[in-house]
Amino acid sequence: MSSLRDRLWPLLVMAAGGVVYLLTLAPTVTGTDAGELVLAAYGAGVAHAPGFPTWLWLAWPVSHLPFAEPARLLNGLSALLATLTLPVLWLWLRLLMAPASVLSRPLSPQGMLADGHPVRRGAALPAAVALTFAVGRSFWVWANTTEVYALNTLLVAVSLYGFFRWYLAPDEHSSRGWLRAAAASYGLALGAHLATTALLAPAFALALYRRRHHLDRRLFFASALMLCLGLGAYAWLPWRAAQDPLLNWGDPDNLRRFWRHVSAAQYRSNIDLRPQSLLSELRFAMSLLFWQYSPLGLPLMAWGLWWGRKHRPRILEFLLVGIASGTAYALAYAIEDDQDAYYLLVHLLLLVPLMWGAQHAVQCLADRFRSQRWIVASLFLLPALTLLSNVGVADRSDYWYHRDYYRNLTAEVAQGGTIFTRDWQFYSPSLYYRYVMGERADLRVIDVELMRRDWYLDSLERRYPELTTAAQPALQHYRALRDEWEADPTRFEQNPQAVAALQDASIAAINALIATAKHLGPVHLGLHMEPGVGAGYTWIPAGLTFRLEDPSRPMPTLAGLSWQLEHLRGRWDRLPDEPARKVARVHALMLINRALYLAELGEKEAALAALDLAEQIVPADALTQQVRAQIEGG
């Protein structure tokens, strides 16, 4: 009966996590990379570096199922993969539980404490710890939206379980298959998210060295072969790039481009070792750790680390090497919006000392309570507190912000218009809605930030020849300087004249595209364009963009707004994440620009009404109050 109950625990953990993820599942595309990833999966394309081929293999067939829109299907795929991760974590944690023989109080031959209390090697403790991870901030927020992190965590968890089944096995011959399985899973994990998975390699290498006398040549090469088979997922990238899919990020169809894409060369500039940046990231990491495990989990974790130093030094050594490499990379890699995902490996490894500390806490409870129910119930206080701490941030069940952003912005753009943007929170969802859902497929949308990349310039020439043909002289001049910069960025940036020339050429290329687009239809610019872009035109605030008009024309009146605002108005304090807040800020900023324009036309009441609406979206904003005072005083 005890064995049967033990087997039920991982199923209960999986069921509980599945219910949580299903109830908080995002209904459509979310922010940051979600729109781009859905298009990459749906169109069997190449996603942003390093490509995530393992995820694309799995996501492509799922995205074509007829049950729902592709974004919701892939959100559901993340939820399923996250749910499957939890029983694997339970198995791994159960394997690494502190043996009762090293605890301070003796056991009877029947597996009970000498005074009759239940054994602490039960199945409830790893279940409680796994559930704590399930509802932690760094995992839950990626378990209900389209991203690669759920698959990556599942494969890493399988790797850890298989590796420690081999590492801790008393019979090395019967456990050889576990090491091969771990190697295969680790190779696939490298294809799901290369950077974070590779950070575990030093810990694996050290552990293999410690156990080198049990690692014969045949097992080593068999495991290496399985690792390479998993890494074979990267063959997807050049194969699909050669087919010229709709999304062909990096165009890795030759060895040079393939290496640049897989090594994420374009993101190396995000490595920031300045003290102020590292300090800022450290503050974020400490805050995230607090919300990941709640105030109750942190002292338990510290207790477990102290215990592991004395009683499990080899396992703790593995954990600390992985934690150190993961933390060092996350601190140095300055990135917006999904930096919490880069701590997933660290939080995963910290589950073990958390469990060790909780074991000793259970021992203390056993001294006070003779009832097993109270002890088991106390174990689940930790995941309960963690869930309550994070549900407001992780719940995506009403996440419509980027759908509304796309529709609100494009509603003000006439048929056949061209939009130039620097906002990834708009451009990424636009890839999904235009190319997968077919909404406003008549529009041309250009990300001027991506124009820094040669593959994107190539794609513009293929996708919008009516724009790029006439702009070729400016584009070719810009590309020549851009290629020179990419060949040796360090040397190039040491020449201020060359940097200035590249910047001027970039703006000239954008303006050449704008001039051509003006002959084809209306042209709209998003916020925060670089100085010089759109020069010579009058910028008319038309909804969420500026429509470019000939300066010789009189200032036109503004049409009424037809925005969908039910998810933004009066909800600033309840917005779950920074991408949603960015969407809100864009709406508020464009309302401020609208108010200034209306005031210039003499429509003071309409201008103040626009500011009222801006304050309903982003309350107590200093800029809004400043502009209000300016208009009222004028």
Four-residue CA torsion sign, 586, 589, 595, 598? negative
pLDDT of res. 610: 96
In this prediction, residue 379 carries a pLDDT of 80
The Cα–Cα gap between 78 and 390 comes to: 18
- Supply the angle between the helices 578-600 and 424-435 in degrees, to the nearest 10: 100
Backbone angles phi, psi at 561, to 5 degrees: -85, 140
CA 460, 463, 464, 465 torsion-angle sign? positive
Distance CA 39, CA 436 (A): 7
Q: Hey, what's the torsion of the CAs at 586, 587, 589, 594, to 10 degrees?
A: 140
Helix axes 70-95, 34-42, angle to 10 degrees: 100
**Looking at residue 2, what is its pLDDT?**
52
Task: Report pLDDT for 117.
Answer: 38
Q: Which residues of the chain have pLDDT under 50?
A: 1, 101-121
Global confidence as pTM: 0.92
Residue 343 and residue 34: Cα distance in Å, rounded?
A: 19
CA 216 to chain centre: 39
Question: What pLDDT is recorded for position 504?
Answer: 95
**DSSP element (H, E) containing 523:** strand 523-525
Residue 121, pLDDT score: 45
pLDDT at residue 119, as a whole number:
37
Q: What are 405-416's pLDDT values in tens digits?
A: 999 999 999 999
Q: Is the peptide bond before 50 cis (omega within 30 degrees of 0)?
A: yes
